[in-house]
Amino acid sequence: MLYLKKILLCILAFIMLCPLIKAEEIKLAPNAKSVLLMEASTGEIIYGRDIHIKYAPASMTKMMSMLLYLEAIDRGQMSWDEKIKVSVNASSMGGSQILLETGEIMSVTDLFKGVAIGSGNDASVALAERVGGTEAHFVQMMNNRAKELGLKNSNFKNSHGLDIANHYSTAYDMALIARELVKYDKLLEYTSIYETYLRANTDRKFWLVNTNKLVRFYQGVDGIKTGYTNEAGHCLTATAQKDGMRLIAVVFGEPDGTIRNNEVSAMLDYGFNVYGLERVLSNESNLGTVNVAGGKKRTVTIVPTEDVNILYQKSVGKKNITYKVKVDKLSAPIKRGDIVGSIDILDNDKIIRNINVTVSEDIKKANILELYIRHLGDIIKGLS
């Protein structure tokens, strides 16, 4: 009888420990120093290990550089068809390059391809000098932008990622940069190209092959950036989209490129197989109408500033999501994009996220005559 009790106690202990055993069973990218798997639209971390430990990011540095190039184009500071004259500094860069020559003139488009596809250090510096005036000033811009994005464990010393003291980032910070980058269709258009040519119709034709082999060998991968130096090891920030869900996978310090690619592929498989994404609201969803004081129109529709997606485990099922809208008192003029309140997203009555709301259209301020006629109409309507 005593022996049977011992057996039962052992079984009970095993059952109690089962959840812990299952939790420990999952170890993605075991050869990497640092690992993160994130769903892009929500920013939710599906899996992470040592995500805030600082490591040399190698050419993943170029992700921040590319973000600044794209933002410069967005604000009209630079254009895709603009021609840039290559400096001595840019053409003298070592490591991976597209063999730029001093004084050579190349379009922003081709230089960007050189960075996004071929990881060209020379192309990175040429664009950095164009945006920042000097690479040193551009690096200051990189670090300023990092602070704006909430990157707490990154410090950049150059635009390309060659090893240098005090140049570091983390898996989490790289994922945050990637979240910004995937908002740009143009970025993904170029990072998804496996091979192309620069200077195609010249005697200096250059074959450009994507350093991210998953673009070709993993369905759905369309970016973003590899990295390798002796200090950093083999690194990769990859993104893939499937069934309406976009994942971002980051690894630092893999022992070689093959292991890196295999382990990132397994991370993406895990994310897509285990998790799903439900769209609760779109940025066009009608959240009701509110009054606008002094506007040409009396009321306006309220909409979210962004799509509201909810990540869920497929084995558990979709979550019980509700939401509550809170809107400020509105006065004209007001424009679409102006923050006018927020939505609390609730899972079983527990707030899990807060999203800003805006108006569906611009509302101009009514002039005195318009307000007088409206007031008169209200009086007449009240008398009838």
Residues acting as catalytic residues: 59, 62, 119
* Amino acid at residue number 247: L
Q: What are phi and psi of 207, to 5 degrees?
A: -80, 120
Contact by Cβ (8 Å): 239, 37: no
Contact by Cβ (8 Å): 251, 226: no
For residue 57, give the nearest of 136, 137, 173, 184 by alpha carbon. Answer: 173
- Structure tokens given for 247: 């994942």
For residue 322, give the DSSP letter. Answer: E
| Burial class (CB within 10 angstroms; exposed 0-12, middle 13-18, buried 19+) of 270 | middle
Question: Side-chain half-sphere of 149: how many Cα atoms within 13 Å?
Answer: 24
| Cα 332 from Cα 180, distance rounded (Å) | 32
CA 351 to chain centre: 24
| Cα 177 from Cα 79, distance rounded (Å) | 22
- 91 to 60, 95, 121, 160, 333: CA distances (angstroms): 20, 11, 9, 13, 51
